Amino acid sequence: MWTPTPDALATDLDDELVLLHANTGDMVSLNGTARAIWNALPATTHTITQLLQDLGAPTHDAQADAQTTLDDLHRRHFVTHA
């Protein structure tokens, strides 16, 4: 299960979602796909992949996009995986 870390602060701006890590100061702007993933948390990789497919992504692309986005957010300490 992927979940946001307690130190991940999210600010919803009109066309983007900005994440700020309270401890590291790291900041990231999420595009439409990454924003949809963030808004679905907490969730499993399978659930996120299904969400992306429901939004029109082909199966292979949905799996790759979900894993790449979640791995990047994990590497930057915005999400945890258990």
Average pLDDT over residues 37-60: 95
* Residue 67, pLDDT above cutoff 90: yes
pTM of the model: 0.92
Crossing angle between the packed helical segments 45-54 and 32-40, to the nearest 10 degrees = 130
* Residue 56, pLDDT above cutoff 90: yes
Average pLDDT over residues 56-66: 93
15 confidence band (pLDDT: 50, 70, 90): confident
For residues 82 and 27, give the distance between their C-alpha atoms in angstroms, rounded to a whole number. 23
Predicted pLDDT at 31: 87
